[in-house]
Amino acid sequence: MESFNFFVSVIMPVHNRFDLVNESIQSVYEQTHRPIELIIVDDLSDELFTPKVSSGPGFEVKVIRHEENKGPGASRETGRQAATGDFITYLDSDDLWHPQFFEKVVITLQSHPEAGMCYCKTALFSDPEKIDLKNLRSRNDQSFDSIIPTLFYGRPWSTSACLWTKNASNLIGPWFPGWSWEDREYEYRAGVKKIKICHVPEVLCYVRENECVERLSKVNENRAALKRFDSIVAIGSTIFSNKNLIDRETKSLFTIKVFRPLLIQLFDIKEYEKARIISEEMLVISPKFSKIWLFSMALRLFLFFPKKFMNKQLFKKLWIHLT
């Protein structure tokens, strides 16, 4: 079985740091698989971006420039809308691929017709000249066949390590225009849609470890919580709109693993209105479980900080929900 003749669309959101971008583009160009279309979405970089690699036989390069800075989720959706391939993948602009990434992942998806996504093992690196193939992303040496409940216990794959079928992409729908957790929101939605996955047990993707202030999804800790908020509210909407497809145990896991940690952090940074919204989503998704936990939390806060919390109208609203 061979991978050729299947058209692969590569979507790469870009914002500045063009030296790293061109390294990533080169790893796309060096793929043994053809045909490929590379869709670069320039999310309003400081200067116009012109890739060093140009279109050629079996390799098409398109550059789409946003007129405003929209973030990684919206950038991936711009690319998805323009994609025409049989398979779609999203490459972060500082990550790299092994030359046989497409060849091996496409063949694996062909041999697993029930799957809508395939991921490979991923090595973490800071220097592309010194990649340690033993420095692996957590859990991604393991093979999983479903997104849920896998995601609840740690995300084994990076965004760049996944190849999606066009059918799966259409079923999942548009990317949420978020700045953080937009990839998890997309994957949780895929999990709710029961999209199956498969695995290539070889290191074919390399994810850069170093922090970069211009990386699209990197923000400080407090801002990260606020950025995650929008994506997690979107996850809640997905659960509610598909509630008949999700069993009670899975709803409880969403509450414990996704909503509860954010709620605690929102209280820590005094974002009480957002904490109330997350609390209400928890009560809708898993009423009995959430009510017990939220009641105990509210009681502790009342005992230790009665004036700080119970005199606030927003907290009174939450208290009314619980009593």
For 57-76, write each residue's pLDDT tens digit: 999 999 999 999 999 999 99
DSSP 99: T
Question: What local confidence, expressed as pLDDT, does residue 213 receive?
Answer: 41
Q: What does each C-alpha distance from 72 to 43, 95, 175 come to in angstroms? A: 8, 15, 9
CATH topology of domain 8-208: Spore Coat Polysaccharide Biosynthesis Protein SpsA; Chain A (3.90.550)
Question: What local confidence, expressed as pLDDT, does residue 240 receive?
Answer: 86
* Confidence at 295, pLDDT banded by 50, 70, 90: low
Q: Name the most confidently modeled range: 198-202, 211-215, 264-268.
A: 198-202
Average pLDDT of span 285-299:
65
Contacts of 263 (CB under 8 A, 6+ apart): 275, 278, 279, 282
* Confidence at 302, pLDDT banded by 50, 70, 90: low
pLDDT at residue 143 tops 70: yes
* Confidence at 290, pLDDT banded by 50, 70, 90: low
pLDDT at residue 52 tops 60: yes
